Structure 1
Amino acid sequence: MSPFRLTRTLNDDTLDAALRHDVLHGLGSTPKTLPPKWLYDARGSELFEMITCLPEYYPTRDERELLRTHAPGIAAEAGARTLIELGSGSSEKTQHLLDALPDLHTYVPVDVSDSALDQAGRALARERPRLAVHALVADFTRTLDLPDTPGPRLLVFLGGTIGNLTPAERAEFLTSVRSLLGPGDAFLLGMDLVKDASVLVAAYDDAAGVTAEFNKNLLAVLNRELGADFVPDAFAHVARWNPADEWIEMRLRSLTRQTVKIPSLGLTVDFADGEELRTEVSAKFRRPGIARELHQAGLQMDRWWTTDTSSYGIALARPLP
C-alpha cells in the first residue's frame, strides 16, 4: 500500500476565528456580504455534489470532458512527478490527470475539509499503491507551506473556483501561486467562460431548487456555529448576471423587515424588506483577460484548451523568468 499522510495546518479554533471575523466584517458592511467558503459544510458539500449533476449545471460536465480528452496532452506538457491540487474535495476531478501522468510520484490534495481529505486520500492510497499521497488541510487563499516533493510539479486549480475570487483576490492568489512554482513547474487552471446570460443564470438557479437550498444552508451554518437565529424561509435565493463585472452573483434576499441576533458575537443585524446579502460571486472569463491576469502575476499562458462550444476553458501556465 502506498504511504498516506495527512498534515493539518488548520484546526477548529482557526476556522472558528476566521468565521467570526468574516461574519463581523461582512454583516457589518454595506452592502452585506459573506465569502462563499462558508457554504461548504458537510450538508453544503453534499448539496453542491447534487448541483453538479443537475441538467442546468454544465461546468462540471464540460471540465470533466476536457480533462478526459486532453489529460494525455496536459501530462506530456507538464511531465510532473508531483501533482498538487488546490480545493481538491473528493479528488474526483483529477482522476484523468492521475491516470495520464506515468512518472507521478506524489499527489498533494489541499482542502479545508479534514474529513474529505482523509476519505479521498485513503481511497487513493488503496487504489494506487505506487502513489504517495500527502494530504494537506489548509486554506489555499492563505500562504501555503507545501511538503518537500520531487519535481517537476503541476499545481492544479479546477472546478472554476477561481471565479469565486474578486479581481483583487485573484491577483493576490495568482501571485501566491507563482511563489510556489520553481523552474520546470506548471499551473493548470480551469475556468468558466462568458456566455449567454440565460444559460449562466439557469446554472445557478435550477428548476429543482437545489441551488436555493445550498445558498440558504449558509444561514444554517451561522445558526449552528455562532448561535444565530436566522430563519432560512425568511430569505429568498437570488441569482443574477452582473454584466459590468462579468460574474454571477448569488444573494439571499430578506422577505421582510427583520432583526437577526448572533449572541456569540454580541451582534444584532437588521435587514430591511428586500435587502440582499451577497453570498457568492462566480466570475466568467475570456481568454485574453485571464492571460493578462496570469502575466501580471508572473505566469505565462503556454497552452489553452476549450470545449467545442467555447463554454469552458483550461489554461496551462508556467512561471516567467
Structure 2
Amino acid sequence: MSPFRLTRTLPGDAMDAALRADVRQGLTGMPKTLPPKWLYDAHGSELFEKITRLPEYYPSREEGELLRSVAGAIAVVSGAQTLVELGSGAYSDKTRYLLGALPGLHTYVPVDVSASALRQAGQALTVEYPDLNVHAFTADFTSDLPLPDTTPGPRLVVFLGSTIGNLLPAERATFLTSLRSQLSEDDTLLLGTDLVKDEADLIAAYDDPAGVTAAFNKNVLSVINRELGADFDPDAFDHIALWDPDPEREWIEMRLRSRAEQTVKIPALDLTVDFTGGEDLRTEISAKFREDGVRRELAAAGFELRHFFTTEAHTYGLALAAPTALPRRHTWSALLQSPSVRP
C-alpha cells in the first residue's frame, strides 16, 4: 500500500460558519443568490453524478474524452512529479488519465472540502498505484486557496469540470491571481473550460427532461432546512435554466423561481425571508468561454496560455498555461500533433 495522508486546513466549524454567512448575505440581497457549492452535500453529489451520465449533459463526457486523447502531451510538456487537483471530489476516470500518463509522478495531491470524498479517493489510489504518495488536503478554494507546498517539483495543477465557470469574473480573477502567486516558474496549470455553443444545447444540459437537474437544484433548499432549521418547501419553487448571451457574461444561470408569494423562516439565523410570486433565487452560474477570453483572463493573472486543446467540434477546451516567466523547454509543434488540438 502507498502512503496516504490527509491534512485538514479547514477548522471543524468552517463550513457551518460559511453556510450561515452565505445564506444570510445571499437571501437578504437583491437579487437573492446562493453560492453553488451548497448544492453538493452527499445527496447533491449523488444527483450530480446522475447528471453527468445524462445524454444531454455533455461537459463531463467531452472533457474526459479530450483529456484521454491529450494526457500524454500534457505529461511531456509539464514534466510533473507532483499532480495537484483542485476540487478533486471522489477519484474519477479523468484523474486516472493523468496519473497513467505521468511516468515520473511521485505525489498526487487532491484538494477538496469533503474529507470523506478524499478518503474514498485515497483508498482507491492506494490499491491502484501502490508506489504513489497521496497527500490529501481539505480546503475551500472559493474563499481561500492555501496551495500545499508540496515536493518534488515541478507541479501540474489541474482544475477540471469547467468549475472555473461557476465563479463570477471578479472571483475568477482573484482565484487565478492567488493561484499564480503560489506557483514556481516550473509549474503548469491545466484548466477545463466549457465553450460557448448553441443555446438549445446549453439549456438542455441544465434542464433535462428527466428532472434530475431540477432535483439537484432544489436540493440546496433541503441543505438549508437540515443545517439551519429552515422551512423551505422545495415544491414551492420551479427550476429555471437561462442563457445570458451578453458578451460580458455568456453564462447559464440556474435559478429557483417562487411559485407564489411566501415567507421562509430560518431559525438558526433568526431570519425571515419573503419571496414574491415569480421571484428568482440564483443558485449557480456556469460561464462558457472562448479561447481569446481564456487567454486574456490568464494573462491578467500572470499566466501565459501555452496551448488550447479542444474537442473536434470545438465544444470543450483544456487550457494549458504556465507562469509568464517559465522558459519554453519544448517545441510545441512537435509534441502536439493531434486532430483534436487547435493551434
Q: TM-score of the superposition, structure 2-length normalised? A: 0.93
Secondary structure at 2:260 match in 1: coil
Alignment of 1:221-300 (within 5 A): 221-244=223-246, 245-300=249-304
Counterpart of 2:21 in structure 1 is: 21
Counterpart of 1:125 in structure 2 is: 126
Deviation (angstroms), 1:233: 0.2
Counterpart of 1:50 in structure 2 is: 50
> What CA distance in whole angstroms lies between the structure 1 residues aligned with 2:11 and 2:114?
10
Question: In the alignment, is the contact (CA less than 8 A) between 1:91 and 1:109 conserved in 2?
Answer: no
Question: In the alignment, is the contact (CA less than 8 A) between 1:31 and 1:277 conserved in 2?
Answer: yes
Question: In the alignment, is the contact (CA less than 8 A) between 1:32 and 1:278 conserved in 2?
Answer: yes
Counterpart of 1:159 in structure 2 is: 161
Deviation (angstroms), 1:231: 0.2
Letter paired with 1:297: A
> What CA distance in whole angstroms lies between the structure 1 residues aligned with 2:260 and 2:114?
35
Change (3 A) 1:156 1:66: same
Secondary structure at 2:273 match in 1: strand
Secondary structure at 2:105 match in 1: coil
> What CA distance in whole angstroms lies between the structure 1 residues aligned with 2:204 and 2:196?
14
Deviation (angstroms), 1:145: 4.4
- 1:125-153 Cα offsets, whole Å, 9 max, x none, are 12101100001011112131404320000
Question: In the alignment, is the contact (CA less than 8 A) between 2:5 and 2:136 conserved in 1?
Answer: yes
Q: Which runs of 5+ in 1 are unaligned?
A: none
> What CA distance in whole angstroms lies between the structure 1 residues aligned with 2:116 and 2:267?
28
Deviation (angstroms), 1:66: 0.5
Secondary structure at 1:102 match in 2: coil
Alignment of 1:153-232 (within 5 A): 153-232=155-234
> What CA distance in whole angstroms lies between the structure 1 residues aligned with 2:291 and 2:147?
30
Secondary structure at 2:13 match in 1: helix
- How many residues align? The count is 321
Following superposition, which runs of at least 4 residues in structure 1 exceed 4 angstroms of deviation? Answer: none
Question: In the alignment, is the contact (CA less than 8 A) between 2:82 and 2:150 conserved in 1?
Answer: no
Question: In the alignment, is the contact (CA less than 8 A) between 2:145 and 2:179 conserved in 1?
Answer: no
> What CA distance in whole angstroms lies between the structure 2 residues aligned with 1:10 and 1:122?
21
Q: Are 1:41 and 2:29 counterparts?
A: no
Deviation (angstroms), 1:69: 0.5
Counterpart of 1:115 in structure 2 is: 116
Counterpart of 1:66 in structure 2 is: 66
Deviation (angstroms), 1:250: 0.1
Letter paired with 1:105: H
- 1:272-292 Cα offsets, whole Å, 9 max, x none, are 000000000000000000100
> What CA distance in whole angstroms lies between the structure 2 residues aligned with 1:187 and 1:91?
20
Question: In the alignment, is the contact (CA less than 8 A) between 2:91 and 2:120 conserved in 1?
Answer: no
Question: In the alignment, is the contact (CA less than 8 A) between 2:147 and 2:179 conserved in 1?
Answer: no
Deviation (angstroms), 1:183: 1.6
Q: Which runs of 5+ in 2 are unaligned?
A: 326-343
> What CA distance in whole angstroms lies between the structure 2 residues aligned with 1:162 and 1:107?
21
Counterpart of 2:8 in structure 1 is: 8
Identity of aligned residues (%): 67
Bigger Cα displacement from structure 2, 140-149 vs 174-183: 140-149
Change (3 A) 1:250 1:84: same
> What CA distance in whole angstroms lies between the structure 2 residues aligned with 1:94 and 1:286?
25
> What CA distance in whole angstroms lies between the structure 2 residues aligned with 1:136 and 1:175?
21
Question: In the alignment, is the contact (CA less than 8 A) between 2:91 and 2:124 conserved in 1?
Answer: no
Secondary structure at 1:25 match in 2: helix
Question: In the alignment, is the contact (CA less than 8 A) between 1:216 and 1:232 conserved in 2?
Answer: yes
Deviation (angstroms), 1:179: 1.3
Counterpart of 2:81 in structure 1 is: 81
Q: TM-score of the superposition, structure 1-length normalised? A: 0.99
Question: In the alignment, is the contact (CA less than 8 A) between 1:83 and 1:108 conserved in 2?
Answer: yes
- 1:80-104 Cα offsets, whole Å, 9 max, x none, are 0000000001131211000000000
> What CA distance in whole angstroms lies between the structure 2 residues aligned with 1:294 and 1:272?
40
Deviation (angstroms), 1:319: 0.3
Letter paired with 1:99: G
Q: Are 1:315 and 2:319 counterparts?
A: yes
